[in-house]
Amino acid sequence: MRKFLLSAAAALSALTLVSGCATGTDAVATGGTFDFVSPGGQTEIFYDPPSERGTLGELSGPDLMEEGKTTSLSDYEDKAVVLNVWGQWCGPCRGEADDLEEVFVNTKDLGVQFLGINVRDAAQDKAQDFVVDNKVTYPSIYDPPMRTLTALGGIPTSVVPTTIVLDKQHRVAAVFLRELLTEDLQPVVERIAGEEPDQQ
C-alpha cells in the first residue's frame, strides 16, 4: 500500500510539473458541444446521423514547424478535418505516419485537411525531425502539455495515437483510438468529405 501511495504521489507531482510549464505561447482550447462517452473497449466509434454530431471547441496552438505562427482548427473553415494526436516517442505513431500522409494526399482535393497535435515532446526539434523524416506535409500544433486536448470533449488523452475525423462543420464524425492503415482511414474520410450540404 505504501508503494502504491508513493507511486501515486510521484505521478501527481509529475502531472503538476508538466501542467506548470505553461507559457504565453501554449496551445489553447475551449469547450464545444461534443461529449465523448467511453466506448467500452471499442477502438472505432462513428457518429451518425450527421444531425446528431457534436462540435469541438476552439482549438489552436503554436505551429510545430513555423516559429511564431499559430495554427487553428478554424483556419480550415468548410473543410473536413482529420485530427491526429501523435508523439515522436510513440511507436504506433511512427507506424501510421506514412499511411496518414497517403490519405491526406489522396483526399485533399475533396476538401480535406489534416492537422496533427504533437503531445508530450518536450524537445521541439525531435518532433520536427519526426515530421521531416516521415515526409509529413500537413501542419501540426506543438502542444507538449496537451492543453488542446480539452477541446476534444473528453476523448482520452492517454491514448496516443488518436485520430478524429470531423465533417465540414467541424463536428465529430469518427474517432479511432488505435494505429491506422490507409485502408482503414481513407474510405471513412472520403465518405464524410462527400456528404451533401443538407446532411451537414
Percent of the chain with pLDDT over 90: 70
- For the ranges 30-39, 114-123, 179-188, 189-198, the lowest mean pLDDT is seen at 30-39
What letter would DSSP give residue 53? P
Q: pLDDT (tens digit, 9 = 90+) per residue, 45-87?
A: 999 999 889 998 899 999 999 999 999 999 999 999 999 999 9
Annotate 80-137 with three-state secondary structure: EEEEEEECCCCHHHHHHHHHHHHHHHHHHHHCEEEEEEECCCCCHHHHHHHHHHCCCC
pTM equals 0.83
More confident residue, 197 or 110: 110
pLDDT band at 27; cut points 50, 70, 90: low
How many angstroms separate the CA atoms of 185 and 180, rounded? 7
Domain boundaries, the chain: 26-199
| Structure confidence at residue 37 (pLDDT) | 83
- For the ranges 4-18, 52-66, 126-140, 151-165, the lowest mean pLDDT is seen at 4-18
Q: Which three cell numbers stand for residue 13?
A: 507531482
What CATH class is the domain 26-199?
alpha beta
- Which H helix or E strand runs over 44? strand 44-46
The predicted model gives 148-153 an average pLDDT of 89
162 with 176: CB under 8 angstroms? yes
Query: Average model confidence (pLDDT) for the chain?
Result: 86
Cα within 13 Å of Cα(30), Cβ side? 2
165 with 111: CB under 8 angstroms? no
| Structure confidence at residue 165 (pLDDT) | 98
- For the ranges 13-17, 77-81, 126-130, 168-172, the lowest mean pLDDT is seen at 13-17
For residue 16, pLDDT beyond 80? no
